[in-house]
Structure 1
Amino acid sequence: MAQQPQQQKLPAPVMKILLGHELERLRKAAGFTQEQSAEVLRCTQQKIAYIERGGGIKHLELQGLLDAYQASDTDRAYAEDLHKESDHRSKRGGFRSRFQQHLRLLVDMEPTCQRLFSHQSKLVDGLLQTENYMRTLFRAWRPSRSQDQIDSDTDARLARQRILDNPEQQFWFIMDEAALRRSAGSKEIMREQIMRLVEIIDRPNVELQVVPFDVGYYMGQAHSYTIFGYDTNPPVDIVYLDQHDGGEYVDDTRRTPKYQILWEQQKAAAIGPEQTRRFLLELVRSL
């Protein structure tokens, strides 16, 4: 029997968001406005808004707000625990240290989220790539990478894919047909990659949909992003926007709902999982 992945700690940014929500709840329960809380810390209202959106807070400032809000022992202990976890530092030499700085939060979130929703416009998602597909992509980078770097990056990406074995997590991938039509070196590599996607569809915790060209234009078709969902109280979503020069993380509660709406629109534009299976098999036969 395969060993189940161990439950991992939530990433620090998620804990900061939860702490911000808790401080907002305590402030409102105490009848404080953000301006009055700002007077307690002798700061601006904008800083209080930043803290409550998950921007983080110093420990002395946290104690000052908890005192002002007359937080109960239980609420105080909960807020202190959240603050301690939000200041967590990963050990040196850990798995995440193999990745560039902008990818380290991504690597922290992948095994800890309850839901992962990914839309890819040009490439197969890294969690679904075959080794040959990966190596073709890494060889295309400029300046050129050494063979040792390609080997290391490939091993690291393959290791990330182990999260798909966790039945407690839900994965949902939507990809534009363009991601499947762009050749990755040879027809053989693409056949292997597409058959890997066909196999993925049979996993109980994975859904896969394709948006064919004949659908025409659909909202957000050019954008690649991933939504990481956490069943915390309150729920937390963090969006990763894939970019050429790094990546952007969106955890602002004013922006993340827009990506949830976009996701639902893209899911509606895509063909269903069983239609996707037939589509992929037909595509393999045409190569």
Structure 2
Amino acid sequence: MTQTHAAKVLTGSTTKVAKMEGGWVPMRDPDIRALCELYGLSDPAAVGGLLELARVDRERRKAKGWWNEFPNLGDMQEYVALENAATSIRTWQLCLVPGLLQTPGYARALAMGNSTKGHPDRGETLVATRIARQRRLSEEPILDLWAVVHESALRHRVGGPAVMREQLKRLEEAAQQPNITIQILPFEAGEHLGMGGAFNIISFAEPGAMDVVYTETAFGQLWVEGGDEAAQHQELFEKIARDALAESESRSFIEALRGDVSNGGF
């Protein structure tokens, strides 16, 4: 069926259908029921699940989160809103410390090192949003974070030795929290399945809610919502985690690396 078929059933335009399919507008219950009938979906449990997802989505759209105070977030605003509603996040990082674990000095150095955003105001905005996001790790409802980080991310001299010492100390402390799992994939692991790029998997508590996979590129973002591709990312993450050091070994690795920075051998 085409968007024209759906538009006719909804007594609306194809533009309306396109906006609904793109997630740009909330879904109304009568529209959901009409589309289910059109597509031959009559199972009450399945229809009820869709109606509940739509209700949750409408509530989220009404929410006024702290991120609305930062209009400069741009495309990241959607990610931050999802992150704020999530119950758990799994992140695989090749070159950077995950944003939820960055220190202000590290975040500031990243902002100033980006030639397209190298302005003091932009840098301080990034630091402020990083700190605000990190509240989810210690305030109710507490977010579960599982981060697998490649050794290269810890050896990049972002901001210089002093900044990196502070950042590594932050990772040591974070790894002690019960809701945070940190694993390091060392250079010694050789070739690995995560070499294709970093990604985040965002999970929610609502029954039937789909996992969302987020990948950031140099000039934009890529999103995957549920389906086989999201399941493939989950499987990939688990395989990368199996190749990484165990939690206790990762903590020892970070501690030793921080010692190298302090002794000038970084």
The Cα of 1:230 is off from its aligned counterpart by 1.7
Q: In structure 2, what is the Cα distance between the partners aligned to 1:271 and 1:240?
A: 24
Consecutive unaligned residues of structure 1, counting only runs of 5 or more, are 1-34
Structure-2 separation of matches of 1:189 and 1:40:
55
Indicate the residue corresponding to 1:198 in structure 2: 172
Asked if 1 retains the 8 angstrom alpha-carbon contact of 2:67 and 2:77, the reply is no
Give the one of 54, 65, 86 matched to 1:83: 54
**1:58-69 correspondence to structure 2 within 5 Å:** 59=28, 61-65=31-35
Q: Which residue of 2 aligns with 1:274?
A: 248
Match of 1:128 in 2: 101
- Matched with 1:221 is 195
Q: Identity percentage over the alignment?
A: 25
Structure 1, 109-118 or 191-200: larger mean CA deviation: 109-118
Q: 1:188 aligns with which of 146, 153, 162?
A: 162
Contact 1:139–1:145 (Cα < 8 Å) also in 2? yes
CA 1:147–1:105 in 2, change beyond 3 Å: closer, same or farther? same
1:260 corresponds in structure 2 to 234
Out of 74-83 and 97-106, give the one that drifted further: 74-83
Match of 2:204 among 230, 254, 262: 230
Corresponding position: 1:104 with 2:104: no
Which amino acid is 1:95 matched to?
A: W
Match of 1:170 among 119, 125, 144: 144
RMSD: 3.4
State how far apart, in whole Å, the 1-side matches of 2:65 and 2:6 are.
Answer: 41
255-264 or 105-114, which moves further after superposition?
A: 105-114
1:189, 1:70 → 2: CA distance?
Answer: 56
TM-score (norm 1): 0.74
Deviations 1:224-265 (A, max 9, x none): 111001233224200110211121111141210110111011
Letter in structure 1 aligned against 2:232: K
Q: TM-score, normalised by structure 2?
A: 0.79
Aligned-partner Cα distance in 2 for 1:196–1:154: 15
How far apart are the structure 2 equivalents of 1:230 and 1:191? 34
Counterpart CA distance in 2 for 1:172 and 1:73 is 36
* Range moving further from structure 2, 86-95 or 193-202: 86-95
CA–CA distance in structure 1, aligned partners of residues 233 and 44 of structure 2: 37
Gaps of 5+ in 2: 262-266
Pairs aligned (count): 247
Q: Which residue of 1 aligns with 2:111?
A: 138
Contact 1:176 1:221 in 2 (8 A): no
| 1:95 has 2:67 as partner | yes
In 2, Cα distance between the equivalents of 1:160 and 1:177?
24
